[in-house]
């Protein structure tokens, strides 16, 4: 018999009735003879309301206190699920992050897992107890409560599965799996049966919200097969696994879009050593991450430089660059929030040339202008006007033969 880790997201534990459903599922697995460790998120909406509460006191709440506050969301569901399981005849115990222990660094709000001690989990399992772990949280070396970043329960689940060398890690959510495109945008989107870690990593990094990106990094590093599936149906979901031969036959596995970035352009920047560093160092110092960057060289010794940042950081980044522009004597700085990034991802790109050309031609047929392009070995992204995002995704989905029959 195996050891199964099951993670239940916010919508799956949104109220007591749903927690009861989750308990049924956990008990069913347990009754099949498996050891079960259930990892839970906060009830949907709870993390957001806790953040809003804290912000009523202070727009930027103290990070240590905020983490301790947010961790109560997962504490609530973990304890309720443990009580529910026990009341249904299957003894269970909850463990918070610090009790497991999930040891992290001290980066409140976005802590990284350094080490997981699973002795306590193991000893509970050997007493035939079901173990319920509060996701999203850990503790630093001094015992402070930390959280792992939004969506971090996925990472808790995969990391705990890795530490326990679990036989399966099932991520239960409100969708039936990973799709070739967002079904709300593309009616002919299909569920993907198997997707490689690498593709999932690329898709998470461009904003597909099914799995927190760090959970995929963990899964890939420790070879944890992850099954993304719905807690509202019995349907098989999507397996996130090592790449296999069949996967390369598909040129593009998924088309995604992301409207969460904004663009900043510095015009007529001096084309000399050290200028790019001057432009990006203060952005980095402000903790803002930059995504796409393009720079053109001009004959005049001046160059235009454009980059994208998260919309949430746009105003701060623009203000920083206005200052920088004065110092480096750039002619002008302007920005644009009405942009979207659309991407095609697939390991098949490695062995099929011409994917970029096909993507550009497809967008051109729709009259969509491309503002910026970036690529990785298995992904091509284009920045376009936001109002064309849906149209672009639909067209690409058809172009690459992904439409359901
Ligand atoms: N409750 C946290 C959030 O809303 C973590 C999670 O759900 O994975 O981001
Ligand atoms: Mg999630």
pLDDT along the chain (405 residues), means of 10: 96 97 98 97 98 96 97 98 98 98 95 96 97 98 97 97 96 93 94 95 83 94 95 95 87 94 95 93 93 83 92 95 94 95 94 94 98 93 97 97 92
Question: Which pLDDT score is estimated for 94?
Answer: 98
Q: Where in the sequence is the domain holding 170, given as residue range(s)?
A: 3-174
Angle at 120 between CA 119 and CA 125, to 5 degrees: 95
| Residue 43 CA, ligand 1 centroid: distance in Å | 9
Q: Quote the CA–CA distance of 61 and 58 in Å, as a whole number.
A: 5
* 166 part of a folded domain: yes
Question: Which pLDDT score is estimated for 7?
Answer: 98
* 26 part of a folded domain: yes
| Ligand 1 pocket, residue 97 CB under 6 Å | no
Testing ligand 1's pocket by substitution, the residue of 73, 110, 231 carrying the most ligand atoms inside 8 A of its CB is 73
| Residue 210 CA, ligand 2 centroid: distance in Å | 6
Q: What is the CATH number of the domain that holds 169?
A: 3.40.1160.10
Q: What's CA 196's distance to the chain center, in Å? A: 15
Single out the residue of 102, 96, 103 nearest to residue 78, CA to CA: 96
| Residue 150 alpha carbon, nearest atom of ligand 1 | 9
Ligand nearest to the CA of 40: 1
* 10 part of a folded domain: yes
| Residue 353 CA, ligand 1 centroid: distance in Å | 39
| Residue 147 CA, ligand 1 centroid: distance in Å | 9
| Residue 158 CA, ligand 1 centroid: distance in Å | 14
| Ligand 1 pocket, residue 42 CB under 6 Å | yes
| Ligand 1 pocket, residue 346 CB under 6 Å | no
Q: Quote the CA–CA distance of 100 and 75 in Å, as a whole number.
A: 13
CB distance 249 to 242 below 8 Å: no
* 397 part of a folded domain: no
Burial class for 294, CB neighbours closer than 10 Å (0-12, 13-18, 19+): middle
* 337 part of a folded domain: no
| Residue 42 alpha carbon, nearest atom of ligand 1 | 1
CB distance 78 to 132 below 8 Å: yes
| Ligand 1 pocket, residue 348 CB under 6 Å | no
| Residue 124 CA, ligand 1 centroid: distance in Å | 25
- φ, ψ for residue 48, nearest 5 deg: -60, -45
* Residue nearest to ligand 1 atom 6, measured at CA: 151
- Tell me the β-bridge partners of 118: none
Single out the residue of 103, 96, 95 nearest to residue 143, CA to CA: 103
Tokens 């047929």, residue located: 365
* 38 part of a folded domain: yes
3-state helix/strand/coil string of the chain: CCEEEEEECHHHHCCHHHHHHHHHHHHHHHHCCCEEEEEECCCCCHHHHHHHHHHHHCCCCCHHHHHHHHHHHHHHHHHHHHHHHHHCCCCEEEECHHHHCEEECCCCCCCCEEEECCHHHHHHHHCCCEEEEECCEEECCCCCEEECCCCCHHHHHHHHHHHCCCCEEEEEECCCCCECCCCCCCCCCCECCEEEHHHHHHHHHCCCCCCCHHHHHHHHHHCCCEEEEECCCCCCCEEEECCCHHHHHCCCCEEEEECCEEEEEEEEEECCCCHHHHHHHHHHHCCCCCCCEEECCCCCCEEEEEEEEEHHHHHHHHHHHHHHHHHHCCCEEEEECCEEEEEEECHHHHCCCCHHHHHHHHHHHCCCCCCEEEEECCEEEEEEEHHHHHHHHHHHHHHCCCCCC
Ligand nearest to the CA of 13: 1
Give 174's contacts (C-beta < 8 A, 6+ positions apart).
9, 11, 12, 230, 231, 232
* Residue nearest to ligand 1 atom 8, measured at CA: 151
Ligand nearest to the CA of 48: 1
In Å, how far are 100, 119, 209, 262 from 116, measured between CA atoms? 7, 9, 25, 37
The dihedral formed by the CA atoms of 12, 16, 22 and 26, expressed in degrees to the nearest 10: 150
* 314 part of a folded domain: no
| Residue 156 alpha carbon, nearest atom of ligand 1 | 8
Question: Which pLDDT score is estimated for 248?
Answer: 84
| Ligand 1 pocket, residue 392 CB under 6 Å | no
How many domains does the chain fold into? 1
| Ligand 1 pocket, residue 98 CB under 6 Å | no
Model pTM score: 0.89
* 64 part of a folded domain: yes
Cα R_g (the chain), whole angstroms: 23
Question: Which pLDDT score is estimated for 395?
Answer: 98
Single out the residue of 255, 150, 135 nearest to residue 213, CA to CA: 150
């Amino acid at each position: 018999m195996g050891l199964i880790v099951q993670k239940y997201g916010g919508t799956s534990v949104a109220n007591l009735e749903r927690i009861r459903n989750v308990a049924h599922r956990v008990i069913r697995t347990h009754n099949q003879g498996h050891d079960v460790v259930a990892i839970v998120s906060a009830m949907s909406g709870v993390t957001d309301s806790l953040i809003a509460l804290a912000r009523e006191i202070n727009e930027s709440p103290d990070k240590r206190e905020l983490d301790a506050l947010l961790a109560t969301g997962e504490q609530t569901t973990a304890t309720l699920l443990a009580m529910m399981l026990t009341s249904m005849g299957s003894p269970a115990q909850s463990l918070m992050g610090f009790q497991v222990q999930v040891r992290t660094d001290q980066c409140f709000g976005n802590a990284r897992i350094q080490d997981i001690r699973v002795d306590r989990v193991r000893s509970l399992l050997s007493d035939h107890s079901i173990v319920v772990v509060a996701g999203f949280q850990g503790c630093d070396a001094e015992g402070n409560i930390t959280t792992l970043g939004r969506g971090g329960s996925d990472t808790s689940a995969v990391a705990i599965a890795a530490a326990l060398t679990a036989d399966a890690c099932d991520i239960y959510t409100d969708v039936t799996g990973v799709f070739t495109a967002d079904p709300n945008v593309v009616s002919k989107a299909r569920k993907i049966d198997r997707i490689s870690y690498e593709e999932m990593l690329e898709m998470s990094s461009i904003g597909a919200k099914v799995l927190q990106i760090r959970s995929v990094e963990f899964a890939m590093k420790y070879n944890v097969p992850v099954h993304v599936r719905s807690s509202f149906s019995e349907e098989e979901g999507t397996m996130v696994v090592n790449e296999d031969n069949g996967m390369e036959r598909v040129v593009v596995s998924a088309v995604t879009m992301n409207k969460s970035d904004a663009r900043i352009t510095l015009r007529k920047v001096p084309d000399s050593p050290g200028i790019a560093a001057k432009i990006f160092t203060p952005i980095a110092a402000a903790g803002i991450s930059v995504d796409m960057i393009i720079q053109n060289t001009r004959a005049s010794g001046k160059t235009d430089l454009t980059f994208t940042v998260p919309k949430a950081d746009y105003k701060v980044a623009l203000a920083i660059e206005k200052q920088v522009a004065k110092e480096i004597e750039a002619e002008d700085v302007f920005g644009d929030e009405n942009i979207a990034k659309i991407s095609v991802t697939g390991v098949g790109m490695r062995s099929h040339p011409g994917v970029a050309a096909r993507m550009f031609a497809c967008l051109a047929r729709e009259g969509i202008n491309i503002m910026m392009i970036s690529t990785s070995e298995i992904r091509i992204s284009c920045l376009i006007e936001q109002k064309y995002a849906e149209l672009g995704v639909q067209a690409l989905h058809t172009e690459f033969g992904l439409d359901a029959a």
